[in-house]
Amino acid sequence: MLEIKGVSKKFKQTKVVDNLSFNVHEGEIVGLLGENGAGKTTTLRMISTMLKPSEGSIEINGYDVVRNPSKVRREIGILFGGEVGIYDRLSARENMEYFGKLYGMNQDEINKRIDELTEDLEMGEYMDRKAGKFSRGMKQKVSIARTIIHSPNVMLFDEPSTGLDVSAARVIHEFILKCKKESKVILLSSHSMTEVEKLCDRVVIIHKGKLIEEGTIEYLKTKYNNDDLEEVFVTLIRGGKK
């Protein structure tokens, strides 16, 4: 379980995240929505121990991100959109092996996990080719695979389908839904309302670092009397909250 309680983050005098609280449970996909600069990526970086909260607390499966960062890192897998993070001179397989070893996995565990992810993400045709000449979609799949090679319980996705064609995006979506069936805790940040509606059980909407609304998509559509999630989102961030 992911628990965020009264979390704020300041950079000098600017409060980027302001008293944010929400939970994500096992087997649930929660969408973190907001405009650019709303604090989404900062929130994900705090969850992943890359930044320390200025106030409040974040716990992942009972581990505090400040007091137990090393244990938290073993519980999570995180992909930041646009930050592919693979080594061009290594093959897809070698990239995954390298990150598996960083997580302390033995070779048998790594091999088994590579076989699983190769099938799930449809990477069989290029597993032993150098990554430098891969397409954006191929690199994105390898990046996801190396991020979750250690089978983390908590998955953090920041714009996972950015720049991907329809086929590649669909494979990523199917994989995320498979993770849900495996009772993973999944937090997804996306600007695509189509993606959010397809994948998410609930959404958390933030604006200027503050939570302004949360709930299931159907709840929000009913509450704001609008079947278009994008219009509900725009109404909220423009101050039209009812």
**Domain-embedded: residue 157:** yes
From 122, 119, 138, select the one nearest 130 (Cα to Cα).
138
What's the whole-number mean pLDDT along residues 197-208?
Answer: 95
Where does the chain have alpha helices with state H?
Answer: 40-47, 69-75, 92-102, 107-120, 136-147, 166-181, 193-199, 217-223, 229-237
pTM of the model: 0.89
pLDDT over 80 at 15, yes or no: yes
**Domain-embedded: residue 122:** yes
Kindly indicate the confidence band of residue 241, based on its pLDDT and cuts at 50, 70 and 90.
very low
- CA pair distance 74, 194, nearest whole angstrom: 31
Please give the pLDDT value at position 81: 65
Q: How do 55-60 and 210-215 pair as beta strands?
A: unpaired
- CA pair distance 40, 34, nearest whole angstrom: 7
- CA pair distance 34, 43, nearest whole angstrom: 12
Please give the pLDDT value at position 10: 95
**Domain-embedded: residue 168:** yes
What's the structural domain count of the chain? 1
- CA pair distance 86, 24, nearest whole angstrom: 28
Kindly indicate the confidence band of residue 242, based on its pLDDT and cuts at 50, 70 and 90.
very low
pLDDT over 90 at 228, yes or no: yes
**Domain-embedded: residue 116:** yes
Give the model confidence (pLDDT) of 83-137 as tens digits.
567 899 999 999 999 999 998 999 999 999 999 999 988 999 999 999 999 988 8
**Domain-embedded: residue 178:** yes
Share above pLDDT 70 across residues of the chain, in percent, rounded to a whole number: 97
Give the model confidence (pLDDT) of 147-178 as tens digits.
889 999 999 999 888 778 888 888 889 989 99
pLDDT over 80 at 80, yes or no: no
Please give the pLDDT value at position 140: 85
Range(s) of the domain holding residue 88: 2-237
Please give the pLDDT value at position 79: 81
- CA pair distance 68, 149, nearest whole angstrom: 21
Please give the pLDDT value at position 238: 86
**Domain-embedded: residue 242:** no
- CA pair distance 185, 59, nearest whole angstrom: 12
Report whether 51 contacts 41 (CB < 8 A): no
- CATH number assigned to the domain comprising residue 169: 3.40.50.300
**Domain-embedded: residue 212:** yes
**Domain-embedded: residue 13:** yes
Please give the pLDDT value at position 83: 55
Report whether 56 contacts 97 (CB < 8 A): no
Please provide the average confidence, as pLDDT, over all residues in the chain: 92
